Amino acid sequence: RHSVRTFATCARRMAQPPSAHTIAVSQAQGVARGLTGAIGNTPLIRLNKLSEETGCEILGKAEFMNPGGSVKDRAALYVVKDAEERGLLRPGGTVVEGTAGNTGIGLAHVCRSRGYKLVIYMPNTQSQGKIDLLRLLGAEVYPVPAVAFENPENYNHQARRHAERLDNAVWTNQFDNIANRRAHVETTGPEIWYQTGGKVDAFTCATGTGGTLAGTTRYLKDVSGGRVKSFLADPPGSVLHSYFSSGGKLVERSGSSITEGIGQGRITDNLQPDVDLVDGSLHISDEKTIEMVYRCLDEEGLYLGASSTLNVVAAKEVAEKLGKGHTVVTVLCDGAYRYAERLFSRKWLTEKNLLAAIPEHLQKYIVL
Ligand code: PMP
C-alpha cells in the first residue's frame, strides 16, 4: 500500500506511469500511520470474465478492502478531518451523523482511532445487527421513528439538533458536506488514474450522497482534459436516471430496490457542482444486479454487495456501448457480508420475485 499523497502526486505529474524508482520509494514509506492511514489505496481488480466477454478492460476498485469494509471510509475520514481543520472539532469532541449504514461504520472506526465520541441517529426500521455493530464499535445509537425528511423528527434533523446542543460537537452531514466529494477528488480519482497509467476511457458508479460519482468524475475529467467519460448508474426507486435522461427534470420518488446505500431523490450538494460533467446514465434493474452478485462470486471469487454488482452491470453496459478495446472503471463499494441473509436466501429471493433472475447453474449458491 502506498500513501495517498504519493499516489496523488504521481497521478498529477503523470503523462506516463511513475517510474520503478518512484514506486520503490513509496513502498519504503508504506507504513500506515494508524487506522486512518490504511483508508484508500485499494487495489483495482480486473474482472477477467467480463473483460474477455466484452473485449474491454473492466476494472473494479476494491473498496470493500477499506478498514471499515466500504467506500464510505474515505468520506468518513474527510468529513472528520474537515471539521478538525475548521476548528469545529477539538480533542475529545463528538461527531454526530444520521446514517443507517456504511458511513456510520466508517465514522465509528475513524472516531475511535482519533479519540472522538460518535453519536448515530437512524430510522428504527433498521436491523438489530446494524445497531449492535455500531454499538460494539463504540457509537451511541438512537433508533428513531422512520419519518420523511420534511418531518422535524426525521433522523437527520435529530442528529443536527443533537450536535447543536453539545459543545465541541459537529454534525457531519454526509449528503451536503462537500468534504465528502473532496475525498474522491483527492484520493479515489488520482488512484484510478495512477493505477491505470492514465489508460481509462470511462468511469461509472451509482449514487447515494453522490460523493463518489461527483468527486471521481471531477478528477478524471480534469486530469484527462475531459477525455474520460462518466456515467451514472441508477437503481429502481431513484430519480437520477430520469433527471439525466429528461435533461434535468426532477420527478417524485417511487418504487424500490434490493440495493442499499444508493438511489437518491434530489441533487445533493455533493453532486451539484459536477452534475453537468456526467455524460449519461443507466438504469439497472434488480434482476440484473442480483444475477451479477452470483456471477461475480462464481466467475471472479468476489463476494460483493448489491450496489457493487449494480456498478459492475453498468460497467459492462458502458463497455458494450463504447466497443472493444476500451477501459471502464467502476467501484466495488462493499462486500456481501452484511447482506448475506437476504442475497443468498431462497425465501427472500422468492419474496422479491428474483429467483428466476439467477441462472440455473448459479443456484447452488442459494444456501440460506
Ligand atoms: N454503496 C454502498 C453500499 C453505500 O453504503 C453507499 C453510500 N451510501 C454507496 C454505494 C454510495 O456512495 P456515495 O454516498 O459516495 O454516493
Atom of ligand 1 nearest to the CA of 207: 16
CA 186 – ligand 1 centroid, Å: 17
Helix 286-295 and helix 306-322: axis angle, to 10°?
A: 100
Task: Confirm or reject: Cβ of 216 under 6 Å from ligand 1.
Answer: no
- C-alpha pair distances (Å), 21 with each of 15, 44, 80, 165, 298: 16, 21, 34, 52, 38
Q: What is the ipTM of this complex?
A: 0.99
- Beta 57-62 vs 202-206: how paired, if at all? unpaired
Nearest CA to ligand 1 atom 2: 261
CB 240 within 8 A of CB 262: no
CA distance 166 to 17: 48
The lowest-confidence range among 206-215, 222-231, 258-267, 280-289 is 258-267
- Whole-model pTM? 0.92
Atom of ligand 1 nearest to the CA of 209: 14
Atom of ligand 1 nearest to the CA of 333: 1
| Dihedrals phi, psi of 158, to nearest 5 degrees | -65, -40
Instruction: Band the pLDDT of 29: cuts 50, 70, 90.
Output: low
CA 261 – ligand 1 centroid, Å: 5
List residues with catalytic annotation. 72
pLDDT (tens digit, 9 = 90+) per residue, 163-191?
Answer: 999 999 999 999 999 999 999 999 999 99
7 vs 255, residue with greater confidence: 255
Q: Which residue has the cell 473532496?
A: 182
pLDDT (tens digit, 9 = 90+) per residue, 149-161?
Answer: 889 999 999 999 9
